[in-house]
Structure 1
Amino acid sequence: MKKILLGTTALVSAGLIAGPALASDPLTVTVGGTVTAGFYVIDGDNTAPATKVNDTAVKLVARNIDINAEGTLDNGMVAGVLATLSLNDDWNTANAGRAPNDAAFRELFAYLEGGFGRFEIGGTDGAAFKMHYTSPWFVPGNGVDSPNILNVPTAITGITVGGAAHRSSTFSLMAADANKVTYFTPRFAGFQLGLSYTPDVSYAGPNPNGLGAATAGAAAGVRIDDVIEVALNYAGSFGGVDVGASGFYVSGETVLNVAGGSDPEEWGFGLNLGMAGFTLGGAWYQSEDLAGVGAPLATAAGAEQEVWTLGLSYATGPWTVGLAYLQDEISATGLLDQKLTTWQTGGGYNLGSGVDIGLDLQMSEVERAGVGGGDYDVLSGGLVLSVSF
């Protein structure tokens, strides 16, 4: 996820200018990707009543292959297609009804860009996701915000409070990679505005096309439609300090309202400050009546979720080191607040040609007073290898 996120954010921030190509030439096709793998030692206390977890594991994540076709037209506009193929057990496969070990396109969309800005259409993340700033990643292929690797047992991450599940992300995930249209304005005085509209989030990845139009009938189930994203960010420098700031608002409408009805919402803010190799970054996120990706909750449940993160990294030459923290708190009517916190420290060394090795140390704690037992603690350490091509 890291490479895709930083790539798209950088393109948007830089104005999305592609290299020249002859108008008569076909689009230039490039293929790249990232594979991150880590060997971890995990020690978990009280992950279930009177149970401890002491284990070793090999994590294989960020299994993405990116296929990009792009070229400059004779009118000066840049046109392209980006397809991201995820290998094995991608989290989207269950939503699309595919077998667990399929290779599936997690993102597939077309775009046009020029002096008017950038227009995207297809299955991809929206403006709120792509324009968001958060705490820095310093471990190769992994971070505390939206981690590829988080060594907390599913018995913990799957716990719900008022129907809302724990999350480790300050990014908007309501519409995920569902089919949408997005427009980014040109950057003016450092500012840029992004708008996205997603008609239907039944699929977390690119929707297959068919004849006719789907109706919101009884067979449609409970889902979120008509998701609107509004995002604004700033990129500039002041006195040698690089500044990146962002904010977003996302709302959706529930089809076949659950008891009490619910139209979920998300808000988020982020800030990055960079100087002399240091990056200080953080973000804040809140949602209401949202269980997870494309899943609404009843307003009567009073479910609210708040996530914030803060981190500091330092890079010099091939070395990057850092420390980061993330906290997720869920509250619901008549229930005690539940909290998931994670500390991460470590770093990485670039061997060259997109090859990085690193050390990843994590400490997570879940406070679950009154829900299935007491608190939970998990410590882990891992050696990570990440290869980008």
Structure 2
Amino acid sequence: MTGNANFQFYYVDQDFNTSVDASSWSNSPADIGSWAVYATDGNPGLQDHGWYFGVDEAELQLNVSGAADNGLNYGFKIELNANTTDNAMADEVRLQLSGGWGTLQLGDEDGAEDVMNYGGENLMGATGGFDGDYDDVLFRNFETYNGVEQMAAPSYPTIVGDTSDATKVSYFSPRFSGFQVGASLTPTPQSGDGFKSDKAWENHIGIGANYDNTFGDLRIRASAVYSGASSTTSPNTDFLLNDISAWSVGGIVNWGAFGLGANYTDNGDSGMWDLSNEGRTSESSYWNVAASFETGPLYFSAGYMSSVRDYSGTDPYYVAAPDSTFENIALTVDYTMAPGLGIYAEVDLISDEFIGGGAVCEDNWGGINCSNDATILIMGANVSF
């Protein structure tokens, strides 16, 4: 059995700090796609604080394994959420069978499109930098138009359709000369007893191939993954969802104590409402890069993520609309005080612009604030065993 828990201090200074209602910070990911976008309740008020305390993570993980006389290895994993604010008691529940033929996973576990992918996010320390906990306090009030059109740029390095811990079957081959392939089949975006509901998509396929090899002090990793699914939601006769079809490539090079990683992901119009008959379409993509250095008990990392949503179509406004963009410069440091005890700090410098973030946006979208610059500091302590 293993476990971990943390305690975090947050400080945030953002342009929306006088127009944010605390109840809008529900931070519930949109069901369509997998990037982090959040909904406002439409009642702007004052931000309660510029700083916060939080317990973001508290988990217990049970791993049980055995081996048969014929060489078959078997076991199961259960990850329990100990934080009382979590919506599910168990985060990951899966069986695993493995042998010389590879590894088969059955249950609620991350898919091949996630676990086989490499990028700068793998090198980030603290809470994860541009893949971390900054969203706990960052406010975004312009992610959709009329609750239909996805308008904001992606704010996380997550391929559209990432199935996370939805119930699935995954196979991973043995690694030959550093190469490995894998695939996952996920019928619905649900887990646990909710597996019967399709929701926004069905029949997701995640495919990945990667390379991981070491030559003395040099370690090289590279990956390519694909995420695809059929859309199911049709809220009315005018709008349908585009099917999910996204791809990602990335790599990491480690030399001694130094590391360098990068990733590029093209989501296309995956999971977006099909408004082509209205003359409006949009596509999104992102890229990131990160570097790390480790010396004794200290681990340092610096990273940058940039994403864009590009608008096109025959609608005059879409033709003239500037891109929506999101940028995050992240700096982290971790210090291991004792086995299982660590402290960390992270700074995220964020620029979030909706349709260019200027007058074109504000004049055409009811005078809303179309850009948000934020500086976020997170410091924490973690105990694991």
**TMscore range, shorter length:** 0.7 to 0.9
Does structure 2 conserve the Cα–Cα contact (< 8 Å) formed by 1:42 and 1:151? Answer: no
Higher strand share: 1
SS of match in other structure, 2:131? coil
Does structure 2 conserve the Cα–Cα contact (< 8 Å) formed by 1:151 and 1:380? Answer: no
Q: For residue 44 of structure 1, what is the aligned residue in structure 2? A: 14
Q: How many angstroms apart in 1 are the aligned matches of 2:88 and 2:241?
A: 37
Does structure 1 conserve the Cα–Cα contact (< 8 Å) formed by 2:160 and 2:267? Answer: no
Q: Please tell me whether residue 278 in structure 1 is matched to residue 248 in structure 2.
A: no
Q: For residue 298 of structure 1, what is the aligned residue in structure 2? A: 274
Q: How far is the alpha carbon of 1:41 from its aligned partner?
A: 2.0
Q: For residue 370 of structure 2, what is the aligned residue in structure 1? A: 374
Q: RMSD between aligned alpha carbons?
A: 2.6
Q: Please tell me whether residue 360 in structure 1 is matched to residue 346 in structure 2.
A: yes
Q: How far is the alpha carbon of 1:105 from its aligned partner?
A: 1.1
SS of match in other structure, 2:113? helix
SS of match in other structure, 1:129? helix
Q: For residue 288 of structure 2, what is the aligned residue in structure 1? A: 309
Q: For residue 160 of structure 1, what is the aligned residue in structure 2? A: 144
Please, which of 60, 74, 78 is the counterpart of residue 55 of structure 2? 60
TM alignment of 1:5-16, pairs within 5 A = none
Please, which of 267, 282, 300 is the counterpart of residue 321 of structure 1? 300
Distance 1:359 1:175, change over 3 A: closer
Distance 1:76 1:145, change over 3 A: farther
Q: How many angstroms apart in 2 are the aligned matches of 1:374 and 1:171?
A: 25
Distance 1:77 1:149, change over 3 A: farther
TM alignment of 1:123-202, pairs within 5 A = 123-135=108-120, 136-140=122-126, 142-150=127-135, 152-156=137-141, 159-160=143-144, 162-163=149-150, 166-171=154-159, 173-201=161-189
Please, which of 209, 213, 223 is the counterpart of residue 232 of structure 1? 209
Q: How far is the alpha carbon of 1:359 from its aligned partner?
A: 1.8
Residues 217-258 of structure 1, C-alpha deviation per residue, up to 9 Å, x if partnerless?
Answer: xxx675211111110010013463210111101110112556
Letter of the structure 2 residue corresponding to residue 35 of structure 1: A
Does structure 2 conserve the Cα–Cα contact (< 8 Å) formed by 1:61 and 1:149? Answer: no
Letter of the structure 2 residue corresponding to residue 323 of structure 1: A
Q: For residue 388 of structure 1, what is the aligned residue in structure 2? A: 384
Letter of the structure 1 residue corresponding to residue 260 of structure 2: L
**TM-score relative to the length of structure 2:** 0.78
Distance 1:63 1:172, change over 3 A: farther
Q: How far is the alpha carbon of 1:69 from its aligned partner?
A: 1.1
Q: How far is the alpha carbon of 1:271 from its aligned partner?
A: 0.7
Identical-residue share of aligned pairs (%): 23
Q: Please tell me whether residue 268 in structure 1 is matched to residue 263 in structure 2.
A: no
Q: How far is the alpha carbon of 1:59 from its aligned partner?
A: 2.7
Letter of the structure 2 residue corresponding to residue 311 of structure 1: A
Q: How far is the alpha carbon of 1:112 from its aligned partner?
A: 0.1
Does structure 1 conserve the Cα–Cα contact (< 8 Å) formed by 2:161 and 2:229? Answer: no
Q: How far is the alpha carbon of 1:297 from its aligned partner?
A: 3.0
Letter of the structure 2 residue corresponding to residue 237 of structure 1: T
Q: How far is the alpha carbon of 1:355 from its aligned partner?
A: 1.0
Q: For residue 105 of structure 2, what is the aligned residue in structure 1? A: 120
Q: For residue 337 of structure 1, what is the aligned residue in structure 2? A: 323
Q: Which runs of 5+ in 2 are unaligned?
A: 21-44, 313-317
Distance 1:101 1:282, change over 3 A: closer
Q: How many angstroms apart in 2 are the aligned matches of 1:354 and 1:59?
A: 20
Q: How far is the alpha carbon of 1:34 from its aligned partner?
A: 2.0
Please, which of 78, 86, 110 is the counterpart of residue 83 of structure 1? 78
Letter of the structure 2 residue corresponding to residue 175 of structure 1: T
Residues 10-67 of structure 1, C-alpha deviation per residue, up to 9 Å, x if partnerless?
Answer: xxxxxxxxxxxxxxxxxxxxx1122232212221124567999660111322322211
SS of match in other structure, 2:192? coil
Q: How far is the alpha carbon of 1:194 from its aligned partner?
A: 0.3
Q: How many angstroms apart in 1 are the aligned matches of 2:60 and 2:168?
A: 22
Residues 119-170 of structure 1, C-alpha deviation per residue, up to 9 Å, x if partnerless?
Answer: 0111111111111112144433x113431344653335x6237326533123
Does structure 1 conserve the Cα–Cα contact (< 8 Å) formed by 2:57 and 2:83? Answer: no
Q: How many angstroms apart in 2 are the aligned matches of 1:184 and 1:115?
A: 11
Q: How far is the alpha carbon of 1:173 from its aligned partner?
A: 4.4
Please, which of 79, 85, 91 is the counterpart of residue 106 of structure 1? 91
Residues 291-315 of structure 1, C-alpha deviation per residue, up to 9 Å, x if partnerless?
Answer: 5xxxx53263533221211111100
- Bigger shift: residues 254-263 or 187-196: 254-263
Does structure 2 conserve the Cα–Cα contact (< 8 Å) formed by 1:49 and 1:373? Answer: no
Q: How many angstroms apart in 1 are the aligned matches of 2:377 and 2:95?
A: 40
Q: How many angstroms apart in 2 are the aligned matches of 1:362 and 1:102?
A: 27
Q: Which runs of 5+ in 1 are unaligned?
A: 1-30, 90-99, 215-219
Does structure 2 conserve the Cα–Cα contact (< 8 Å) formed by 1:273 and 1:279? Answer: yes
Does structure 2 conserve the Cα–Cα contact (< 8 Å) formed by 1:137 and 1:144? Answer: no
Distance 1:355 1:57, change over 3 A: same
